[in-house]
Structure 1
Amino acid sequence: MDANTRAAVELCEDVLRGDYQYNAEHRILGSTNRLIESLLGRSHELADAYVELRDGLSADSEALKYFFEMYTTAVTSWSPQKIKKAREDKEELTELNVRIAKVSEMLSELLSRRTEVKERSSFTCDTYYHIVDVVEGASEENGLFSSYLKGKLEGLAYQYDLKYWAAISAVVAQIGFDAANAVTVARDSTAIAATEARRPGLADFLKAFEATLDKNRVENNGLIPDEFSLSDSSMASLVNCGIGLRVEDLVDASFVKRYRQRERDRTKRERPVSGD
């Protein structure tokens, strides 16, 4: 390792040690500190990436620190295991809405039928009649509701008779309608990038990490220069060391190159065609 490389490694590892010390002193981000410990033990594997980071980001003293915060956050938040769980959550949320829609439809029909039987027969049962009763029953243990809303809501219930209010069955039906029409979406661009592929793979982490970089570029009010980009080999090193791949699973520069080319091709296909 020549003097130039050693200087770059020292600069980058000083940033990592600073983050480690801060986390340790404040007793936070234990998983991040375990990652930093691993990175500090792989200096030679990351040396070329550190040179690129030093050359591309050290002009702004905060940019390099900013990069490592994003990198460690991406690794701890979007590891293959975390992405797998995110995909499962996405599928479960969609399935839950389907089930809620079906159950709500059934419950709404049962509630309507119960009301019909109570009104036409010689029998009744002590069940909720007014939607305000439902709200009050559900809010029994909410002290703020009791202190600030209960009286006002009861006043409205006395002031306006039942024809002004939605039936309990209609409220339940609306919950089902809402669930049936719900679309499961990611909260941010990183989550979209990590889970949008039809089949999971190591490229998912690359997508998540590069989406995080793009989200934090200068043009988006971040600190990462708009023109900054890591080489394919440096990105491969950061992936391998960050998510701790086994020897047989290691990615190389050609893997990153193919991924980036696919993304460029996809962007071209999705780009709107301007009119004449």
Structure 2
Amino acid sequence: MANPSQTAQHACEQILIEDRRYNTEHNIWPSQVIVVDRLLARRFELLEAYEELHSKLDPHPRALWAFFDVLLGAAALWNPERIARARAGRTELVATNADIALKAAELAKLLRQREQLHNTSGFKSYTYYHVVDVIAAAARDNYLFRSHVQESLDALRSHFDLKYWPYLADVIEAIAHDAQDTAAEPSDPVTAAATAARRASLVDFFKAWFAGIEQNRMSRGGFLPPSIKLSDATLAALVNCALDLDPDVSVDGPYVKRLRQGLRQAQAAARAPSHDGGNGISD
């Protein structure tokens, strides 16, 4: 008869093996397959972690599966390399919006200059002057626009003369203001958690992982119970293996303990609402 440790290992690894099989057969999520292979290769480092996970999550329907789903997703999408790319993307987005604001303002100025020349030079260039002309030209390859929108838009244009419509320069100037006034904000809580710190570190991964757990609690429609009390050593072992950390950069239980304490203190200082200390997994 299998002992509890063997039962737990088998249950956890069956979830991983099934996830790998499905992804491989459907040719999806190769990055998650890599994470599964890491966990399976370093299985003997995870025996105690699997036993704790199984004893605390297996009584809840699909909770064990949901936990590994979050772990694999975090390790595949929010590992240090991916987080670095996300930070670089944020910087590039800010620079791109600034560039759009500048160039759109320049284009609006040129459009106003061209309109003045049309009115004063005695020459015309027969370019677009009505915003509806631009919309129609931009959508000429859009079958749905031509089939369902264009006729009504043309009728609206015929009903209201030019004074009721914005000039092209006004439209471009609005784009300039829009790009200038915006800010690069994370599109979801996990991205926000992973990129909030000023300096990149392994803590960013933990934040993303914990945020993913928060998003998958039962209170949010997921399968994870309200309070998951896992030890610091279990969390450390899972991260070491999922990220395939070398011994010289691996983490241990005391490191995770300090990290979670730091996150709780930071959130308390910011007065952030939380049901379990805000670090994703309760002590």
TM range (shorter): over 0.9
CA-to-partner distance for each residue in 1:92-149, whole Å, 9 max, x for gaps? 1111111111111111111111101110121121211111111111112112222222
The aligned residue for residue 133 of structure 1 is: 133
The aligned residue for residue 236 of structure 2 is: 236
Q: Shift of residue 197 of structure 1?
A: 0.4
Question: Matches of residues 62-101 of structure 1 in structure 2 within 5 Å?
Answer: 62-101=62-101
Query: Where does the alignment leave 5 or more consecutive residues of structure 2 unmatched?
Result: 274-283
Q: Shift of residue 34 of structure 1?
A: 2.6
The aligned residue for residue 164 of structure 1 is: 164
The aligned residue for residue 5 of structure 1 is: 5
Amino acid at match of 2:258: R
SS in 2 for 1:246: coil
Amino acid at match of 2:111: L
Identity of aligned residues (%): 37
Q: Distance in 1 between matches of 2:169 and 2:250?
A: 57
Q: Shift of residue 23 of structure 1?
A: 2.5
Q: Distance in 2 between matches of 1:180 and 1:115?
A: 25
Amino acid at match of 2:155: G
Query: What do you get for the CA RMSD once the two structures are aligned?
Result: 1.7
TM-score (norm 2): 0.91
Q: Distance in 1 between matches of 2:105 and 2:244?
A: 48
Report how many aligned residue pairs link the two structures.
272
Q: Distance in 2 between matches of 1:46 and 1:233?
A: 10
Residues 122/27 of structure 1: CA separation in 2 closer, same or farther (3 Å cut): closer
TM-score (norm 1): 0.93
Q: Distance in 1 between matches of 2:68 and 2:102?
A: 47
Do the aligned partners of 2:118 and 2:125 also contact (CA within 8 Å) in 1? yes
SS in 1 for 2:95: helix
Q: Shift of residue 3 of structure 1?
A: 3.2
Q: Shift of residue 230 of structure 1?
A: 2.1
Amino acid at match of 2:39: L
Amino acid at match of 1:132: V
Residues 47/90 of structure 1: CA separation in 2 closer, same or farther (3 Å cut): same
CA-to-partner distance for each residue in 1:242-264, whole Å, 9 max, x for gaps? 11122221112222112111111
Query: Where does the alignment leave 5 or more consecutive residues of structure 1 unmatched?
Result: none
The aligned residue for residue 20 of structure 1 is: 20
Amino acid at match of 1:97: N
Q: Which moved more, 1:16-25 or 1:255-264?
A: 16-25
The aligned residue for residue 279 of structure 2 is: none
Q: Distance in 2 between matches of 1:167 and 1:161?
A: 12
